[in-house]
Amino acid sequence: AFAGLRSSSQNPNHQSRRGEQHERGAAGGKKLSNAGNSGTGVKKHVKKTKNDKGESSTNIARTILNNLNIFGGHKGNVPAAESEKGVLDADSSSTKSGRRPSVDTVSTYLSHDSEMRTSRADLLDCTGSSEDVFETGSKKQGAIVGVDAASEGISQYVCVVEGRCEGRCPVCLCELDSDLMVVALTRCHHRLHLDCLNSMLTSQPNAHQWLYIQCPVCMTIYGEKRGNQPPGTMDSTLLHTSLPGFPGTRTIQITYHIASGIQGPEHPNPGRPYYAVGFPRVCYLPDTEKGRKVLKLLRVAFQRRLTFTIGRSVTTGLEDVVTWNDIHHKTEPHSRFDPAFLDRCLEELAAQGIR
């Protein structure tokens, strides 16, 4: 319409006809006015169409999620490079931001490689408005959105469950057959609400940088469990003495050094002091094949910050004290060594995901 108006204004014959229309009265003027309005209407329509294609900032979230390849076989029209850039720019849980993910935006991708009975295509409903994408409480709208490395690392262990679900969620104890999305863990196949899984993940000590899943039913660990042990060192040496019950066998001596300090964001009371009472702590193992295996796994536990934690002391009742964290150690070299101690220690390490 605008092109027609411009070309007619440059045509002398048209100018003559325009003069005649002006002399005839208001009818001709209304006709031109209507033509101008029509042109404006076309312009607005074009602008609206542009927004519908997802180029508007209000719809960028829906466009990004609609083009993520991880949600099944539905592929968008945006090139992969542009889509990836958009995700990093729009998602606040990106590793660049360094922010702790929230319950509404974290947790995990769903892997499209799993062969379980689930569909990723319905994970997110991208047909609504951009605000609808992040709403929870619907089986098609889950709070498992994120591009942070921690979420990506555990994505392979979670699948969406479709259809009717029986039983109760092991976390909230509510019925699984509800409007909430239900997910299953890939190895043990135990099911729980997606929102409950998110709550478990974001309550972990290192949720801002490291995530793992521990099944609330069978305690199976998916990923690598990390704790909140304060900084310290672990040393070991061989003694040419024997522990009771292991005559003629050398002894492995383990020494833990941890100093008092200030609690960080992963601890119970950030900013408050913690107290390393009774350090250095010295422990003992027999220098046997099984004893050396326990030593190797204890090193892994210490590196993952699982040997100690900060909490209430069992012996003194004091708070903010460095305490043992569910992995027993033999601290008395002269007391009788329980024959089942090493096996029990291996079981406790396995419960922490260390084998």
Please, what is the average pLDDT of the chain? 70
Please list the alpha-helical segments (H only) found in 194-240: 194-202
User: What is the domain count for the chain?
Assistant: 2
Q: Determine which of 12-21, 126-135, 224-233, 305-314 has the lowest per-residue pLDDT on average.
A: 126-135
Q: What is the CATH number of the domain that holds 157?
A: 3.30.40.10
What is the mean pLDDT of the segment spanning 127-144? 40
Q: What is the CATH number of the domain that holds 253?
A: 3.30.390.130
* 134-137-139 Cα angle (round to 5): 95
pLDDT tens string 65-87: 343 333 333 333 434 344 333 33
Question: Same domain, yes or no, for 177 and 236?
Answer: no
What is the mean pLDDT of the segment spanning 212-227? 92
Confidence of residue 148 (pLDDT cuts 50, 70, 90): low
Q: Which residues contact 131 (CB under 8 A, 6 or more apart)?
A: none
Q: What is the pTM of this model?
A: 0.58
pLDDT tens string 290-336: 999 999 999 999 999 999 999 999 888 899 999 999 999 999 998 88
Residue 92 lies in a domain: no
What's the rounded Cα separation, in Å, for the pair 3 and 38? 12
Residue 308 lies in a domain: yes
Residue 85 lies in a domain: no
Range of the domain at 183: 149-223
Does the structure show a pLDDT above 90 at 209?
no
- Proportion of the chain above pLDDT 70, given as a percent: 57
Q: What is the pLDDT of residue 9?
A: 41
